[in-house]
Structure 1
Amino acid sequence: MFRPPSRRLPVVATAAAALVALLAGCSGAASADVVDRGPVRGGTLVYATDREPTCLDPHNSGDMPQTYVARQYLDSLVSLQADGSVVPWLATSWTISDDGTQYDFTLKEGVEFHDGTPLDAQAVVDNFTQILDPATQSSTDLLYLTGYFESAIALSEHVVRIDLSRPYSPLLAALSQAFFGIESPKAMARGLEENCESPVGTGPFEVVAWNHGRDVQLVRNDDYDSAPADAKHQGPAYLDGITWRFLKDNTTRYGALSSGEADVIFNVPPESQQLAEADPAISLQEFVHSGSPFSLDLNTTSPVFDDIRVRKAFVHASNARAAVESAYAGVFPYEGDAVSSGTPHYDETYHEPFPYDPDEANRLLDDAGWTGRDADGHRTKDGETLTVRLPYNADGAETPPADLTILQNIQAMEKEVGIEVDLEALDSASMNAVWGDPDAYDLIGNYWNSPTPHVMYIKYSKATLDVGNGQNSAFASDDELDRVLIAGTATTDPTEQAALYSEAQRILTSKAWSLPLYPIQTRLGISNRVKDVWIEPSEGEPVLSDAYFVDGGDR
């Protein structure tokens, strides 16, 4: 899953923090002595999050706000476990050919979509057809399938076969994400516009209304009987429904939790962390995503960053660790590897390949020929100033204050070695136009959440670069890296995978194609009136189908 910087958590001003404290002091939330006597049916849970999706169908585009809400109304073929294994969901069993290129899934019988359409093998085939249709504008799903997927066919009413062009061991983990949630063929046939408004799945809740700018209303699917094998219970959800509210402002969102107006919030603000930890009426759950951390990707086609010496100098000079730790007050850790610490086969050896070293940065820049200085102290070569353009989204929900602080801190550190960083604040439309345009920037913020180390192939392979959807924002690839990553997907042996993915991290970090900053996290604040909320490990999606109010939902 990709996007320009989005779910970042700002450090807001002291006055705002004081307002949070006041709201907490006036809390109408559950008291600390709530007694849990087991699951109780009833109540509508209010879940408050920062960003509103552009489309509720996660096959379209593929951004995190989509997958979080889609988990509530779509089921996937399989469910991922924390150890990387998968368990049955809509597929009760599967077989894999000896050469790893053919997967046969046997589907659970008797399952119906919310519109009454039966789940069968052809429905699954139709989902892959929709994903591959250019009209769907699928980005995330296509990048998982590019270079591997050949076809999906119905072998019988409840057996579907996926054929691959070569072995792809991450396939099951990829299919566990809500991005590959199975949708009703009848509903998909309405067209993208209508499907974006109200996608139809087999999941524990149904979409009944999307009130743009305010919330999505979900109601329980009373006929639900297709929970994954790792669910805390089988059968319909305990909740009557969910109000999925959009509260962009961190202070407002945390205030809603502490006052009892919201039952669960996405991403407790860092400045409210200590308040939340001290509040007996609130519990916290945190999950570090697998995938690529939030990074500044360096455009290797730029006349500045096409020189590896300048790229390395930029990373050495940034003092990224200090920038992150200062802006996020230790709540978000620094990560300098090309993959996050939550990624399978993460190798700590590459945690900080280019530590802060202004002397080395100066040496590299001198060696690259940037030896002159202008009146402002910026380096020059052949009459050109060493200036790099860094556009960012001026919307505070997309680039909140903490991220902007990081960018400004890096800007200041780069000036110390003579690099001028031009921070360009753009509106959302202008920012969208920047993506995929190699002439529009020199570096740009990006991340990609993925349950497998195959994320390195998704971001940096020649095959996915050729797709041309702008997600390889460094415009970089390497034949040796491709070879190692393809070998990693071809084996299921953990020892071989660990060695290959370690080598991939070595190659990737040595290229200095990005300045990694911090891993993406899912951080939930939960009222103690609510029990059995959990975070699944494929995309850090909140699971609310097992949740219940200890008091039955009475407010």
Structure 2
Amino acid sequence: MRTFRPLFAALLLALTSLVGVATAQQSGGELTFGVNREADMLDLQVGSSRYDLVPAAQIFDTYLFLSAEGEFIPWLAEEVTVNDDSTEYTIRLRPGVTFHDGTPLDAEAVKFNFDRIVDPATQSAKAVGEMGPYDRTEVVDDLTAVVHFDASYPGFLAAIADWRSGGPNSPTAIRADPEGYRFAPVGTGPFRFVEWVQGSRIVLERNPDYAWPRPQTMHDGPAYLDRVVFRTIAEDGSRVVALRNGEIDGLLRLPPQELAGFENDGNFTVNRATLPGSGVILVVNASKPPTNDLAFRQALLHVVSPDQIARVGYFGAWPAHRGSVLSESNPGFIDLAGTFEFNPERAAQLLDEGGWVMGNDGVRVKDGNRAELVYIGFPSGETTRTLELIQSLLQPLGVRVQIMELESGAIQRARQAGDHHIAHLTFIYTDAHFLRTLFHSENIGTGWNFIQEPDSTLDGMLEAVQIEADPDARAALAGEIQRYMLEQGYVLPTVFQHTINVFGNHVVGAESYPVYGEAPYFYDTYLD
């Protein structure tokens, strides 16, 4: 039996509360944060866009807090106890927590939220993948709930430290307007939702009743800022100009070519982080020619060079990917950089040996199938440069690449339909159990498995890592999955997913959220 108690958090808050007193006179003001892409929705139990988290991280809290050191620290939960086989988790809630609409956070609310995530009617895109073999939630008393699983599920600690599955939403607000809730959420966090002007801005205001800050913050009580405005400025250059001109106070995702200029400018603070999860990878469709051929897929791995992509596509600001489907910041990551070294000659040899014959028009052919690939991904300067580089490297080998850049709804439909040969994918997750959501055969066609080809060997490994409770055994399984997926040519790693946020020096205490990195956390932030 393992128990997670808030001793560390309580001591830290006691030690740092004086900092809040020292800076309390700085309370007030409005911070405007420029984002490159608007959120899809703010109902995190339904949506999957990483951009949803940027404003939502201010609106919602989680049951546990995952520190940068990998420690799970109680937050909305006062204590979490796990039984010996990780099939039961007892959550004892912190008393006195309320949602922005006044609804109390009690055990019934915990049950409502978990049941809602797994309900097929919710159509959860990501949070449901964090719930594993969920069975039910038992309400013991007002502040105690026991979450039951059909099998061992050690990944649930990570799940309840994630906003999508572990950030409770107001049952009252959801029941009142199930459809409208996606665009007007009600959480327990330091800021509450005010308005969303589509295509322009999302506005939040300070929650005056906030009294349960997360561990490792620098003060107690409500946030300092009166309001936070998330302003959508899609064009990179315009976002940079707005920051330099003082129209905005900070920005999300600095274009990598601008990094050196801001790092050498004393008027700004640069926050950088390598994010957990998949990194930026290209998923290969193994169900149709030419990429249904293992030799062809392995030839691609000898040409798609993470080092060159980091240099050309990301101006050296994002680090080259050294694995396959886990980031270097994930537990269980293994370095596979030497498995398929950049070697166009070896790639040509594999294609020759595999029966891919060069045609008169410079395109290889095998069994009537031409070596022509369709890439499907999001429009961005970094990915466009990356694919143009890949085009130039593959063309001399007799392989052509068509680049199709689509918006989020269209891209997901196209990837699920298998319209691609290679597809862009980035996903943030902290635990290897989530690999099942992305790559298990059960998720072909309707979920996130864009490999499109059932693989019972991979399925077995993914099922095993989800339920393995021993940390060393889980790490070994995660390593096997990473190596197998690379050797099968199911993924082409490019760079580790990186975020670069910039603030004017008048913004004090802005930080990237530990572990998840990209989402800023404005609870301790004030304007000087």
Mapping 1:396-411, distance limit 5 Å: 398-411=378-391
The normalised TM-score by structure 2 is: 0.91
1:364 is paired with a residue of what secondary structure?
helix
Mark the CA change 1:537 to 1:474 in structure 2 (over 3 Å): closer, same or farther: farther
Instruction: Please tell me whether residue 347 in structure 1 is matched to residue 327 in structure 2.
Output: no
Q: Which residue of 479, 488, 501 corresponds with 1:524?
A: 501
Question: 1:367, CA displacement in angstroms?
Answer: 2.1
Matches within 5 A, 1:104-253: 104-146=90-132, 148-180=133-165, 181-253=167-239
Matched-pair contact (CA < 8 Å) for 1:290–1:344: no
Q: Could you list the per-position Cα deviations for residues 115-146 of structure 1 after superposition, in whole angstroms to 9, with x for gaps in the alignment?
A: 11111011111112222233332111112224
C-alpha distance in 2 between matches for 1:334 and 1:114: 42
Deviation at 1:43, TM superposition (A): 0.8
Contact preservation (8 Å) 2:309, 2:495: no
Contact 2:304 2:390 in 1 (8 A): yes
After TM superposition, the structure 1 = structure 2 runs for residues 32-51 of structure 1, keeping only pairs within 5 Å, are: 38-39=23-24, 40-51=26-37
**SS of the residue 2:375 aligns to:** strand
CA contact (8 A) 1:448 1:455 kept: no
Which amino acid letter does the alignment assign opposite residue 420 of structure 1?
R
* CA positional deviation for 1:233: 2.1
Contact 1:177 1:538 in 2 (8 A): no
Preserved CA contact (<8 Å) 2:208 2:222: yes
Do residues 418 (structure 1) and 387 (structure 2) align? Answer: no
Whether the 8 Å contact between 1:336 and 1:515 is mirrored in structure 2 is: no
Please tell me whether residue 374 in structure 1 is matched to residue 359 in structure 2: yes
8 A Cα contact 2:280 2:495, kept in partner: yes
Mapped contact 2:306–2:495 kept (Cα < 8 A): no
Residue identity matched to 1:377: G
* Correspondence 1:547 to 2:525: yes
The answer to whether 1:264 aligns with 2:250 is yes
SS state at 1:252 partner:
helix
Q: 1:81 aligns with which of 67, 76, 90?
A: 67
Distance 1:275 1:37, change over 3 A: farther
The 5 A counterparts of 1:292-311 are 292-311=278-297
Q: Secondary structure at the match of 2:390?
A: helix
Letter of the aligned partner of 1:390 in structure 2? Y
- How far apart are 1:482 and its partner, in Å? 4.2
TM-fit CA distance, 1:77: 0.9
Per-residue CA deviation, residues 57-80 of structure 1 (Å, 9 max, x unaligned), is 111222111112111011111111
Contact 1:176 1:538 in 2 (8 A): no
**C-alpha spacing 1:399/1:352, structure 2 compared with 1 (3 Å):** farther
Q: Residue 76 of structure 2 corresponds to which residue in structure 1?
A: 90
Match of 1:391 among 366, 376, 383: 376
- Indicate the percent of aligned positions where both proteins have the same amino acid: 30
Q: Give the root-mean-square deviation of aligned CA atoms.
A: 2.0
* Matched position secondary structure for 1:189: helix
Question: Unaligned regions of 5+ residues in structure 1, if any?
Answer: 1-35, 393-397, 551-555
Aligned residues: 504
**Structure 1: distance between partners of 2:127 and 2:347:** 39
- Quick check: 1:456 aligned with 2:443? no
- How far is 1:500 from its partner? 3.0
Contact kept? 2:376, 2:415, Cα under 8 Å: no
The answer as to whether partners of 1:80 and 1:536 remain within 8 angstroms in 2 is no
* Structure 1 contact 226–235 (Cα < 8 Å) conserved: yes
Pick closer, same or farther for the CA change 1:229–1:196 going to 2, 3 Å: same
Deviates more, 1:132-141 or 1:421-430: 421-430
Aligned residue for 2:59, secondary structure, equals coil
Return the letter of the residue paired with 1:408.
E
Partner deviation per Cα, 1:69-103 (whole Å, 9 max, x = no partner): 11101111111111222111110101111111000
C-alpha distance in 2 between matches for 1:429 and 1:527: 34
Deviation at 1:480, TM superposition (A): 4.2
2:389 is paired with a residue of what secondary structure? helix
